[in-house]
Amino acid sequence: MNKFGYFSFGPQNNAIYTIVQYAKKVIVEVNPLMPIALGGRRDMCHISEVDYIVENSGVPLIEVPPLQASETDKAIAQHIIKEIHDGSCIQLGIGGLPNIIGEMIAAAGIRHLGVHSEMLADSYVDMYEAGCIDGSRKVVDPGKMSYTFALGTQRLYDFIDRNPVCAISPAGYINNPVVAAQNPGLVSINNCLEIDLFSQVSSESSGGRHISGTGGQWDFAKAGYMSKGGKSIIALASTHRKKDGTLESRIVPTLRPGTIVTLPRWTVHCVCTEYGLVDVKGASTWERAERLISIAHPDFRDDLIKEADRMHIWLRSNKIS
């Protein structure tokens, strides 16, 4: 508790204050090792709202080291980095791909970047320390790195501790597409599991097997779509290796029964694999299919063309190189 009677929620502010407001009893655990995450939007609660206080001697936060980028991630990042320019406002998802994108941004010397992201990770610290991020061209929270939770290493937690450059806010604010899209040049980058030729995206399940949740993907896909000069990029490796060692395409004719649609086709903007990046915003069904087949693994393109023909998706050509 600070001298004014407020407790910081630390690096997690998705919906905590709302829970405090509606809970019948509020118990706070005080951890002296918890970083104080500044923000200005429901990032603290007052002792008058608390029923019980539990103190501990100091519990280190869970650390999640950055995932190592694969060669496929690096190839995908090479295409995506071309879409990020001086003054862009970025949102990165989780995994090895965002980490390598952050490294490439720092190496490329891109400047005046803004941050409006659900998650803050170590890669943002890399970009900030390289002089890439200043938030000077943001409309929402100018000069601030806006986020709703931080997950990474102790280096990240030390960075956000009492740092006025970092501004934590609830997900209802950060993830609101109307809020995020006010930032011009918003580039949102997120992963998916599978996409079909109609450009329906699944990031949650493989058939009926549940893998993940929606998270903020829809929110930021919509925000990037709406942002002036912005774009939403959905990234995926073109193939997946099954347990028996065989490859299967992650660009498929149709999603399998039971697969959850995370992004409906009309919200999908750009799609990127290691074979390239295509824009399907406002495209017709056959244009979407052609463009997606062009970035599929070469071994699967002919079969995808045949399936498109079987589904009466009329392509301009019967061979896509």
In the structure encoding, which two tokens stand for residue 211, read together? 């893998």
Could you give the CA distance from residue 281 to residue 108 in angstroms, rounded to a whole number? Answer: 28
Q: Which residues contact 98 (CB under 8 A, 6 or more apart)?
A: 92, 121, 123, 189
Distance (Å, whole) CA 63 – CA 115: 22
Full strand arrangement of the beta sheet holding 251-252 = 201-202, 194-196, 251-252
- Rounded to 10°, the helix 298-310/285-294 angle is 160
Count of beta carbons in the 10 Å neighbourhood of residue 275: 17
Tokens of 2: 């600070």
- Determine whether 48 is exposed, middle or buried from the number of CB atoms within 10 Å of its CB (0-12, 13-18, 19+): exposed
118, 204, 290, 307: the active-site residue: 118
Catalytic annotation present for 71:
no
Q: Active-site positions?
A: 118
